[in-house]
Structure 1
Amino acid sequence: MRFMMFVMGDETPDAEPDESDVDVWVDELESAGQRVMGDILDPGTARGVRVRAGETIVTEGPLIGVTDAIWGFDLLEARDLDEATALAARHPMARNGRLELRPFPEG
C-alpha cells in the first residue's frame, strides 16, 4: 500500500534540522524499497489558485495564516498505516516539523 507523506515546517522544532540525517533516512528506505519517490519543495514558490464567481484568484506563497508550510513530500510503500507511521516517525522532520500521512489511491 502506498502513502503520501507531506513534510511540513514547525515554528517550535524539538531539534534543528540536519540534512545529513534526512539523507540517511532516504537511503535506508530506498534500499528497503519503502520510498518510491520524494523531493524538497520551496514554500516560497507556492501559488494558490481559486475560482470564485468566475474569477481566478491567485495568491503567491504559502497559504496565509497557515504556520505549517509544506517543505517536501515522500511517497512511501508500507503494509498498512501503522507501518507507514513507524517509517515517518524515523524521519528527522518528525522532530523538527510535522509529517502528515495520507493513503495514496491505487488503480
Structure 2
Amino acid sequence: MSWFPRPASPKALLADLRLFASQRSPYQWGGLAVALIMPVLLIAGFAHDASHGIQPGPQLIYAHSWPATRTDEEIKVQQKIDQAKREAAQKERQRQFKKLDQGLKKVGL
C-alpha cells in the first residue's frame, strides 16, 4: 500500500489550473497581482539600496604630531587648552538643548 498519491500528468495539472482560474473574479486576480508585486518591490528596493551608496567613503584621520623633546610642562599646558575647548563645546551643546527645550515648551511639549 502506497502512502503517496501517484504523480499527475501535465495535462491534468493544466486542466485543474484552467478550472481554478475560471472560478475566480477579476477582483481576486487584482488582489493576487498586488499580493505578488508588493513583496517583489520591497525585496528589489532593499537589494538596490544595499548595493548603491550605503557604505561611507574613505575617511582621512590626521594625527597631531608632537616633538619628542617637549617637556611635561608643555604637555600640561596643552591638556588645559584641550580641556577648556571640551568644556566650551559642552556648554554650547547644553545651551542648544536648553533653547530646544524652551521651544518645545512653547508649543506644549
Greater Rg by CA: 2
More relative contact order, 1 or 2 (CA 8 Å, 6+ apart): 1
Which has the larger helix fraction? 2
TM-score of the pair, normalised by structure 2: 0.19
Which structure has greater strand proportion? 1
